[in-house]
Amino acid sequence: MRRSILAVLLFSILLLGGCISQTYHQKVDYEGKSVISNIIDLSTIKGYYKQLGFDSEEQLAQNLTSFSNDACAKIMKKDKTIECSVGELTIELQRNFTSKEGYYTFSVIEGVPYKIYRLTVNKIPVDKFGKAAQGLKFLSYSEPGMTATIDLKKKEDNAISSQGFGAIPGFSFVYEAEVPGEIISATAGTYMAGVSGSTATFDLVNVMENSSPLVVESRELNVLLIAAGLGFAVLVGLAAMFFMMKKR
């Protein structure tokens, strides 16, 4: 019974006060295959322990962990393609993606001395995680509009959504793109993403104000082509030496 009460009160606070952080993290491999995670951070909810009827933040955290584990089990039973795990006041949904599903494109440009990778994210796969959680009143997916694909090419729709998200106190909506090599550019129209190593971080609330696809370019030394070029140069040099010696 108490768990049911917790669920009802929790969703009321989330809907009315925000207080959650959602991060999408995409890790792309050299072939363009991806693992995308939806990470939900509930740490700020601890401050509502009295409103939720608990004696301490620790007691709320324990009950929330138990509640989240139950929700994860139901999600994985409903959708076998999703992995769901619970951390310390965090919940992570994870799924494998390919570019064929239409959420992103990935290309490789072979060159010397660098190989260039280009990731373009056209859609945020809220639907893939939201549909599995739909009907379970699972945290942020009980919010209107959080079970549909976010198409970054729909500027007008996203501008309206951005205003709504921005009005929710404490709400954070972030997309992280982790790509092979060293990032040389990470933009969404005129928006410049933060870059750390091989990961670009986009604040989607800001991106959606003037929505554009997320574009990340990275590079790394093209070892194979460099090695092939050096090998060819060595062979040409040896051939030249051979003919010169033969001529003498």
* Residue 15 in this model has a pLDDT that exceeds 50: no
Tens digit of each residue's pLDDT (9 = 90 or more) over 177-186: 999 999 999 9
- Of 229, 29, 57, 1, the residue nearest 117 (C-alpha): 29
Tens digit of each residue's pLDDT (9 = 90 or more) over 17-42: 445 688 999 999 999 999 999 998 88
Query: Which of 156-160, 238-242, 243-247 bottoms out in mean pLDDT, i.e. has the lowest?
Result: 238-242
Length of the chain: 248
Residue ranges making up the domain that contains 50: 2-247
> Residue 187: beta bridge partners?
192, 215
- Of 41, 125, 163, the residue nearest 91 (C-alpha): 41
**Maximum average pLDDT range among 62-76, 114-128, 215-229:** 114-128
Burial class of residue 11 (count of CB atoms within 10 Å of its CB; 0-12, 13-18, 19+) = middle
Overall number of domains in the chain: 1
**β-bridge pairing 104-109 and 114-121:** antiparallel
Mean pLDDT across the stretch 132-144?
55
Whether the Cβ atoms of residue 159 and residue 150 lie closer than 8 Å to each other: no
C-alpha span between 228 and 109 (Å, rounded): 17
Report H helices in 138-215: 155-166, 204-207
